[in-house]
Amino acid sequence: MPVTRIESLTFGIADMAEGTRFFEDLGLEKREAGAAGARFRTPTNQSILLRPMEDPDLPAAPESGPTLREVTWGVDSAATLEAIGAELGKDREVKRTSDGVLHARDEAGFALAFAVADPAPAAPERPRVNNYETSTRVNQRVAPRERLKPTRIGHVVYRVLPAVRMKASAFYLERLGFKLTDRSLMVGDFMRLPGIGDHHQLLLMTIGSKEARFDHAALEVAGFDDVLWSGGYMQQHGWKGTWGPGRQPLGNHVFWHFANPCGGEIELFTDMDRFDDSWQPVIWEKGGPRPVWMIGDGIPEVLRQSLAKAGEKPGGPA
């Protein structure tokens, strides 16, 4: 049942002007904007939709306030869409809207939808670097860069209560064909889509989770340099970095998180590990490997406390 990517994210928000400015500063292309909502597009043709949070057409979220109200997953064909509708219809309500999109709810209470994917080709600029025997930038200085365009939406992370974690993950793994990459008993379940997939395109996180809520969504940029260029641009425009820059222990991606006025956080990332269907999931009894490196805002207090409790010392290479 091939789900191929995230097709769109729909946020219900309180301040349309601020939310619009945030995603503009992140470098997404604004296609529509007004009091009733805004729509942004990635170069690979995924959408981020902003709607007033009191819009009655938005699905409810487990949490109140501005937040992610629905993830639409793109699937490979109309036949797959029908198969998912039939599968989920066995034990839950599945609504079809006039645009042909199917809407349902997962085991943790989050709204999700399915649509036939409509990807566009994108060719992000390859980072030009020089080192010993490699000269990819000759007679050319590094040009100052400001607002960069993220290539795509890479992953979504929800916080789920530990009591529903296994059931919530099984829904994606057994009913929708997601693949488990790593299961950290302390942190959560890192799942990817079939084929060659990012280490995680969905993470159900339990560490420090006291309620079901949206944690963050991640936008991919072309290279390490771009995370810092783009993150620096965000800082200069008044947006608050919440975690990073750093390189993650699970996924190994370079990342930098920013507080999102539309709810949760948005992560800029690059160079995540990828896996194919031959990968056997790894169960980590504690948190998993230690952070590879971390500067800036370092490790959030909740993670520091949990790792200390589990007998692991965060903050440096193993």
Residues that bind Fe ion (CB under 5 A): 218, 267
CB of 33 to Fe ion, least distance (A): 27
CB of 157 to Fe ion, least distance (A): 5
- How many C-beta atoms lie closer than 10 Å to residue 154's C-beta? 24
- Give the nearer residue to Fe ion in terms of CB position, either 73 or 81: 73
CB of 215 to Fe ion, least distance (A): 8
Strand order in the sheet with 202-205: 282-284, 179-184, 188-192, 202-205, 152-159, 213-220, 265-270, 254-259, 241-247, 293-294
- Give the nearer residue to Fe ion in terms of CB position, either 68 or 218: 218
Strand partners, 38: 33, 50
CB of 89 to Fe ion, least distance (A): 31
- How many C-beta atoms lie closer than 10 Å to residue 21's C-beta? 15
Tokens at residue 242, please? Answer: 């919440």
Residue 46 near residue 6 (C-beta atoms within 8 A): yes
Q: Is the peptide bond before 124 cis (omega within 30 degrees of 0)?
A: no
CB of 300 to Fe ion, least distance (A): 13
- Give the nearer residue to Fe ion in terms of CB position, either 62 or 264: 264
- Give the nearer residue to Fe ion in terms of CB position, either 9 or 218: 218
- Give the nearer residue to Fe ion in terms of CB position, either 37 or 150: 150
Tokens at residue 255, please? Answer: 């990342």
Give dist(CA 96, CA 108) in Å, integer: 21
CB of 54 to Fe ion, least distance (A): 29
- Give the nearer residue to Fe ion in terms of CB position, either 25 or 267: 267
